[in-house]
Structure 1
Amino acid sequence: MNVVGEDLSEAETTEQLFEILSNRRRRYAVYALGQGEEDTVELGELARRIAAWETEQPPEQVSSTERKRVYTALQQSHLPKLADAGLVDYDERASVIHARPELEEYEVYMELVHGREIPWSHYYLGLSGVAVSLLLAVWVGAPPFSTLPDVVWMAALVAALTVSAAAHAYFSRGVELVADGTPPEVEIGPGETDD
């Protein structure tokens, strides 16, 4: 599904996705707009929330200078990019932003990964590879896999999947945040800017 227009190729859409998410303020905006219970957000409130996340303080303690810096960057750069991508409707005159349904598709790419951790999607792909290899070894009767009954190997695979799913549910619970919480941060690397 093409989230930014029918005339773009998949490669162009992917490039636009990474361009959108390459900037921390745009990631914060995508997170805030996707988590909000209201369809429309006032630009000043969005700027205050993002400034609070950037300065690691409660929104009510954000200074007018900190809020204004974020407000200006959102108004001049980030919101027009999100609007051009078809993710939000941005009314400059009223200073309000309306999240479009396509914005939800971008949230999938904001999976929280710290340092040298691997994403859960890669973990499950690796687990599937191990399971297929194990099943093939059991099926052809390769030693030592032929010494135990097939049901034991199947039980081991089910146990591995169950433990993995439980761990995933436990760790994911820790990053599910309310709209006033801190957004998940995706590590992009050096050279990233806030503006």
Structure 2
Amino acid sequence: MDDQSLDVVFDLLADQRRRYVLACLIDHTEAIGLADLAADVAGRENKEAVTKPPKEKVRTIHTSLYHIHIPKLVEAGVVEYDQDRDLVRVSETGEQIEHLLTVAADGGEER
């Protein structure tokens, strides 16, 4: 991976919501609906709460995924988005950054 590619990956991983999106997509072997992805991300962001995140929070996350995060991840080639079917999945490139995502989740301690 060259320096420019590494900069793109670090930019993508700099945002916690995008890290949650990638973690969720890596956890799923199949494409996931954008609404389901938003609910999963809301749950990850609301991890301390016992109850499900409020619908308004899920709706807000859905909007940010649709307008900001998914387009940025698609442009970088990390995810694929089928707008007609409203499905998102991690691309082969995204699978390659799984290790970096794991290192980031562990607080930077590589094992």
Flag whether TM exceeds 0.5 (same fold).
yes
Q: 2:71 aligns with which of 75, 80, 104?
A: 80
Distance 2:54 2:82 in 1: 25
Q: 2:7 aligns with which of 12, 15, 20?
A: 15
1:103 has 2:91 as partner: no
Identity of aligned residues (%): 24
Deviations 1:114-145 (A, max 9, x none): 4xxx6235xxxxxxxxxxxxxxxxxxxxxxxx
Please report how far the alpha carbon of residue 25 of structure 1 lies from its aligned counterpart in structure 2 after TM superposition.
0.5
The amino acid across from 2:85 in the alignment is A
How do residues 42-191 of structure 1 correspond to structure 2 at under 5 angstroms? 42-56=33-47, 57=49, 61-110=52-101, 111=103, 112-114=105-107, 119-121=109-111
Structure of higher CA gyration radius:
1
Please report how far the alpha carbon of residue 12 of structure 1 lies from its aligned counterpart in structure 2 after TM superposition.
1.1
Q: Which runs of 5+ in 1 are unaligned?
A: 2-9, 122-195
Please report how far the alpha carbon of residue 98 of structure 1 lies from its aligned counterpart in structure 2 after TM superposition.
2.2
Distance 2:71 2:14 in 1: 15
Please report how far the alpha carbon of residue 11 of structure 1 lies from its aligned counterpart in structure 2 after TM superposition.
1.6
The amino acid across from 2:28 in the alignment is G
Distance 2:61 2:93 in 1: 24
| Number of corresponding residues | 108
Distance 2:94 2:14 in 1: 15
Q: 1:31 aligns with which of 23, 31, 40?
A: 23
Distance 2:110 2:98 in 1: 15
Distance 2:58 2:99 in 1: 28
Helix, strand or coil at the partner of 1:89:
strand
Distance 1:77 1:48 in 2: 16
